[in-house]
Structure 1
């Protein structure tokens, strides 16, 4: 996919690198290649933060509703995730393509050559600032997505813990587990569409605004 995108965008962008390299030596070429690789890695890592934040909060959500002990397989990585987290990660990626955000990603790659012209040395300080800002933004979005489930888990577990203190002879946690899961699934039924829209909206805003 990377090779295909490179070949597709080369006719649009080849003029500026050639102009910068004209008359330069091998050292200039190597420095330019390293700088562009670092810039590309910065853009890719920032985009990846959004999906990592989503996967993290989905694990928290599945733990909150009692589904985390069931191991699942990632659709794009080797790290296991709970099945519910895998399903919604795949749904988020599918929505990205269904809403044509991959075209915005290509437009962003083309636009990055105007925002960061070829020949401009990679600024480590600016790159770290961008990483920190977008990392915090991605996890704020994740907290917005997971906040109903976190509140649900706090309230339910507080109530169950209080009940267990009042009647310690009854295995309250064992009895309440199916009801916790049922309530969590019901909450997910009513909020799944909204939290996927929040994620796709935040990712689209980053693609359009940088």
Structure 2
């Protein structure tokens, strides 16, 4: 009954165009950091995707209507698959930032001796060290605190200019872009964690040398509290700048995606 009323009020072409907009926007928001977190209920994510779709519809409907040659089943199916692929690709490119931050957070935990401390799953379903959870949760909160979720909506609207509707399903080009994005995000994560990599190399070299000179003393067990204390102080000094560097990389990707 409701569907018939909507079709009678707006027409089949308009409803179909809005649904195609929802395919790209909804699939992106289901996996993008923040909105796509497992801690956000699916119904909330669905309602947010519908709200953003309806808000952007007046701006994007003319281009969507012009791009559809007809309303045949084959054409509609091809458009739905293409829009789902584009939205999922955009969401996965954003998700790559969190994956890289989780990886480097785990590496930092190992570098300063905190990898054995159990942690809970915060962003996803996989349990990570407490430090990695702290970094990902803080980075996600900073995205919303600095209002970058509005920049995400702008990027979704601009994606219809960068990847027009009906331009075809270019899987090879999309996977190449995703591969380049993975390289860029993990390079950014390496820049964030490089001080701790150097710290781990220096500390382990010094401990190995001391253990070689005095093999009768368990140097590693004696020095471990000092290694953790030094790593925590080092973390206190550089964590703020590291998260700002991460946020800058994420914002840059949103502006030029």
Query: TM-score, with normalisation over the residues of structure 1?
Result: 0.96
How many pairs align?
Answer: 210
Match of 1:11? 58
Cα distance, 1:147 vs. partner?
0.3
Distance 2:50 2:221 in 1: 53
Structure number with the bigger relative contact order (C-alpha 8 A, sep ≥ 6) is: 1
- 1:74 pairs, out of 99, 110, 121, with 121
Match of 1:30? 77
Match of 1:101? 148
Cα distance, 1:122 vs. partner?
1.8
Cα distance, 1:117 vs. partner?
0.8
Distance 2:202 2:70 in 1: 68
Unaligned runs of 5+ in 2: 1-44
Structure 1 consecutive aligned stretches of length 4 or more whose deviation exceeds 6 Å: none
- Of the structure 1 ranges 73-82 and 16-25, higher mean CA displacement relative to structure 2 is found in 16-25
Alignment of 1:43-82 (within 5 A): 43-82=90-129
- 1:131 pairs, out of 178, 199, 208, with 178
Match of 1:175? 222
Unaligned runs of 5+ in 1: none
Secondary structure of the residue aligned to 1:120 is: coil
Whether contact under 8 Å (2:123, 2:133) holds in the other structure is no
Match of 1:110? 157
- 1:120 pairs, out of 160, 167, 186, with 167
Cα distance, 1:22 vs. partner?
5.3
Distance 1:5 1:79 in 2: 29
- Of the structure 1 ranges 2-11 and 33-42, higher mean CA displacement relative to structure 2 is found in 2-11
Secondary structure of the residue aligned to 2:200 is: helix
Match of 2:139? 92
Matched, 1:161 2:203: no
Secondary structure of the residue aligned to 1:14 is: helix
Distance 1:11 1:81 in 2: 43
Matched, 1:207 2:227: no
Distance 2:128 2:141 in 1: 18
Cα distance, 1:15 vs. partner?
2.7
Cα distance, 1:84 vs. partner?
1.3
Deviation per CA, 1:169-189: give whole Å up to 9, x if none: 111000010000000001001
Distance 1:26 1:18 in 2: 16
Distance 1:7 1:74 in 2: 33
Whether contact under 8 Å (2:118, 2:129) holds in the other structure is yes
